[in-house]
């Protein structure tokens, strides 16, 4: 079928009121644009239309025309006569055409919804008190909004498997399943891993994996997100927390340069889960399973929680002073990071300018899965380019640092979280020079550092990152940081202040952005942090087009060269 031009606006009549909607979108979306909810289960804006739940039944009609003359037929009062389709139609598969009439509120529609709700609940176990979905369950919501509120069912309910392990991360409760097939369509269409299907027939239909297969792909947890009921549950999150206790913060996944928009859900300072947040230009409504696990880094054993100097703990202020002492009057080498936020990278750049230090930066690369795990496994390599930390595309090692250390061009190091030994730097060189380490987790470099300054994870701070498509996106602090610590860019600002006698480095996001957007760095001109918080900003990437970025074509991403051709 030819995709209809979705930009053209047409008039339709929704519940008797003429409204304007884009041509060709479906009735569910059209009604939603004008504040009318059409309840649905199987329809998902990012999946193909299945039309099996029948919850979105609406009345549809078109103005009648005389067959011979083509003239509109008029009612007695002179208004065009509407030919209503005798049966209700499903909103999800009804595409808007100019002049269409829709009723999302009528006796027939209400009656349909009551009927479908009743049918969906007759074999539903109604085990909300022990169900993880309770509180964010479409069955609960629509039963309240559109159901009759009482049951006429006195027969026995069907019995199905209660806890099927579909894969390492997903557990299925078949009794709760309403057979909407969203998970099946997701596996086929988005994850491209067709492992789910129904067996048995009629009301005994049961969701299951094909024999010998399991739902183990890196996107399996998205099926849990899109399951409108409590059938597919995350094995990790299952029975852990009532969702209404969770505080949600907007964040960005730092797993790779895809920059999936996420919601970090926490309670009392502890993160319980990460779920994707819809962004039609970046990740639709998906994210990787591996990205959801990153919150575990917050409480990882190797987390650096205390500042230390030569192995013994000390207050952060003193540690910063020790760091200054260690670096003062030296030929400093700064190992910046593509994991740092743009704000941190900006202050690193400032520090470098202040001290005349040399910058070294490396990338981290892996396999590109063509969806949302890109080959660049850092969230902000493009930030390092925009901040001016490097003009070259970072390689996956720091051999040049190794040389500089060997020939004495660098005799002190400030390292932003990187593991130098793993990056090709000789351990003996590291032992000879004073080393200041600012990072979140312990590694072989922090082990041999003179001063260790604890950094914060992405969940404990705010900032912004630039993803593979040069979208500038902000993340919010989700949980408080460990006691006695502060955000990385404040530590950097303090350090800069110690080096410079006459100026004060910006140490708040607003101040940093004031400096960033007025520093003549044209791609960030006019941007404020508040603007980024309101929505991702597409930056002009032409300056870096000549670099050979490693990302392959993927969901919402075309390599620059591809666009050019």
Partner 1 sequence: MYKDPHQLIEGMMITAFAIGAKQAFIYIRAEFHEGARILERAISEAKKAGFCGNNILDSEYSCDLVVHRGAGAYICGEETGLIESLEGKRPNPRIKPPYFPAVLGLYQCPTIVNNVETLCNVRHIIGMGGEEFSKIGKPNNTGTRIWCVSGQVMKPGYYEFECGSLTLGQLIFDVCGGLRPGRSLKAVIPGGSSAKVLRADERFSGTLKDGTEFDWGLEDIPLDFDGPMAAGSMSGSGGIIVMDDTVDIVEAMANVNAFYAHESCGQCTPCREGSLWMRKISQRMCSGGAREEDADLLLSVAKQIEGRTICAFGEAAAWPTQSFVTKFKEDFIRKATDSPKERDPKSLQLI
**Binding interface with partner 1 (CB under 8 A):** 1, 49-55, 57, 86-88, 90, 93, 112, 115-116, 118-120, 122-123, 152-153, 155-156, 158, 178-179, 197-198, 200-205
- Pull the structure tokens for residue 332: 């400093």
Residue 131 C-beta: closest distance to partner 1, Å: 19
**CB closer to partner 1 out of 97 and 522:** 97
**CB closer to partner 1 out of 52 and 511:** 52
Yes or no: say if 479 and 252 are a contact pair by the CB < 8 Å rule: no
Q: Which regions of 253-307 does DSSP assign to beta strands (E)?
A: 261-267, 270-276
Residue 95 C-beta: closest distance to partner 1, Å: 8
Helix axes 316-327, 488-499, angle to 10 degrees: 50
**CB closer to partner 1 out of 141 and 293:** 141
- Pull the structure tokens for residue 251: 């964040």
Residue 157 C-beta: closest distance to partner 1, Å: 10
The burial class, CB within 10 Å (0-12 / 13-18 / 19+), for 310 is exposed
Which among 225, 257, 278, 255 has a CA at the least distance from the CA of 535?
278
**CB closer to partner 1 out of 203 and 522:** 203
**CB closer to partner 1 out of 52 and 281:** 52
**CB closer to partner 1 out of 153 and 245:** 153
**CB closer to partner 1 out of 47 and 539:** 47
Residue 50 C-beta: closest distance to partner 1, Å: 8
Q: Which DSSP string do the residues of 35-65 spell out, in sequence order?
A: T-----SS--TTS-----S-TTEEEEEEE-B
**CB closer to partner 1 out of 86 and 129:** 86
- Distance between CA 314 and CA 26 in Å, rounded? 62
**CB closer to partner 1 out of 129 and 202:** 202
**CB closer to partner 1 out of 88 and 230:** 88
**CB closer to partner 1 out of 107 and 268:** 107
**CB closer to partner 1 out of 51 and 559:** 51
Give the sign of the dihedral formed by CA 145, CA 149, CA 153, CA 154: positive
Residue 149 C-beta: closest distance to partner 1, Å: 16
Q: Across-strand partners of 435?
A: 413
Residue 106 C-beta: closest distance to partner 1, Å: 14
Residue 389 C-beta: closest distance to partner 1, Å: 51
DSSP letter assigned to residue 103: E
- Distance between CA 170 and CA 216 in Å, rounded? 8
Residue 233 C-beta: closest distance to partner 1, Å: 22
- Distance between CA 22 and CA 29 in Å, rounded? 10
Yes or no: say if 200 and 206 are a contact pair by the CB < 8 Å rule: yes
Residue 151 C-beta: closest distance to partner 1, Å: 12
Which among 309, 335, 304, 331 has a CA at the least distance from the CA of 321?
309
Question: At 344, which helix (H) or strand (E)?
Answer: helix 342-355
Residue 39 C-beta: closest distance to partner 1, Å: 12
Residue 176 C-beta: closest distance to partner 1, Å: 14
Give the sign of the dihedral formed by CA 108, CA 110, CA 113, CA 115: negative
Residue 10 C-beta: closest distance to partner 1, Å: 18
- Distance between CA 191 and CA 250 in Å, rounded? 24
Residue 2 C-beta: closest distance to partner 1, Å: 12
What residues have CB less than 8 Å from 85, skipping those under 6 apart? 59, 60, 61
Question: At 402, which helix (H) or strand (E)?
Answer: helix 399-406
415-451 burial by CB neighbour count: b if 16+ within 10 A, else e? Answer: bbbbbbbebebeeebbeebbbbbbbbbbbebbeebbb
**CB closer to partner 1 out of 119 and 499:** 119
Three-point CA angle 220, 225, 228, nearest 5°: 125
The DSSP bridge pattern shows strands 435-439 and 412-416 to be parallel
Phi, psi of 22 (to 5 degrees): -65, 140
């Amino acid at each position: 079928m030819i995709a209809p031009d979705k930009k053209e606006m047409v008039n339709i009549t929704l519940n008797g009121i003429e409204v304007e909607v884009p041509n060709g979108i479906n009735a569910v979306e059209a009604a939603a644009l004008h504040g009318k909810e059409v309840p649905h289960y199987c329809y998902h804006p990012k999946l193909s239309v299945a039309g099996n739940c029948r919850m979105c039944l609406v009345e549809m009609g078109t103005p009648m025309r005389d067959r011979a003359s083509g003239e509109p037929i008029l009612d007695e009062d002179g208004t065009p006569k509407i030919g209503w389709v005798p049966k209700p139609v499903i909103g999800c598969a009804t595409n808007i055409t100019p002049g269409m009439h829709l009723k999302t509120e009528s006796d027939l529609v209400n009656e349909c919804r009551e009927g479908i709700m009743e049918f969906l609940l007759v074999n539903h176990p109604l085990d909300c008190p022990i169900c993880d979905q309770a509180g964010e369950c479409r069955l609960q919501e629509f039963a309240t909004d559109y159901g009759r509120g009482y049951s006429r069912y006195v027969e026995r309910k069907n019995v199905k498997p209660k806890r099927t392990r579909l894969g390492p991360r997903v557990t299925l409760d078949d009794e709760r399943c309403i057979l909407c097939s969203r998970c099946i369509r997701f596996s086929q269409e988005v994850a491209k891993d067709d492992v789910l299907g129904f067996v048995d027939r009629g009301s005994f239909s049961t969701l299951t994996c094909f024999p010998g297969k399991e739902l183990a792909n890196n996107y399996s947890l998205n099926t849990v997100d899109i399951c409108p009921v409590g059938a597919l549950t995350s094995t990790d999150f299952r029975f852990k927390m009532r969702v209404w206790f969770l505080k949600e913060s907007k964040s960005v996944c730092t797993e790779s340069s895809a920059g999936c928009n996420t919601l970090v859900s926490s309670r009392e300072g502890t993160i319980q889960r990460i779920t994707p947040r819809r962004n039609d230009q970046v990740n639709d409504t998906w994210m990787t399973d591996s990205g959801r696990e990153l919150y575990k880094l917050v409480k990882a054993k190797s987390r650096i929680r205390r500042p230390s100097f030569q192995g013994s703990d000390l207050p952060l202020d003193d540690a910063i002073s020790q760091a200054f002492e260690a670096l003062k009057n030296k030929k400093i080498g700064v190992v910046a990071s593509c994991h740092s936020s743009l704000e941190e990278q900006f202050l690193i750049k400032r520090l470098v300018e202040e001290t005349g230090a040399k910058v070294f930066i490396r990338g981290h690369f892996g396999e590109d899965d063509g969806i949302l795990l890109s080959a660049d496994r850092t969230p902000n390599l493009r930030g390092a380019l925009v901040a001016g930390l490097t003009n070259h595309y970072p390689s996956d090692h720091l051999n040049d640092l190794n040389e500089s250390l060997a020939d004495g061009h660098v005799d002190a190091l400030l390292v932003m979280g990187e593991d130098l030994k793993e990056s090709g730097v000789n351990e003996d060189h590291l032992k000879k020079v004073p080393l200041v380490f600012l990072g979140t987790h312990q590694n072989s470099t922090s082990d041999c550092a003179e001063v260790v300054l604890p950094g914060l994870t992405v969940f404990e701070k705010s900032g912004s990152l630039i993803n593979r498509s040069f979208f500038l996106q902000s993340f919010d602090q989700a949980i408080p940081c460990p006691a006695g610590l502060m955000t990385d860019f404040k530590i950097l600002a303090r350090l800069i202040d110690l080096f410079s006698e006459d100026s004060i480095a910006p140490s708040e996001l607003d101040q940093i952005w004031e400096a960033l957007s007025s520093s003549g760095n044209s791609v960030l001109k006019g941007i404020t942090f508040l603007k980024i918080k309101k929505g991702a900003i597409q930056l002009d990437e032409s300056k870096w087009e000549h670099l050979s970025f490693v990302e392959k074509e993927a969901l919402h991403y075309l390599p620059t060269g591809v666009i050019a051709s």
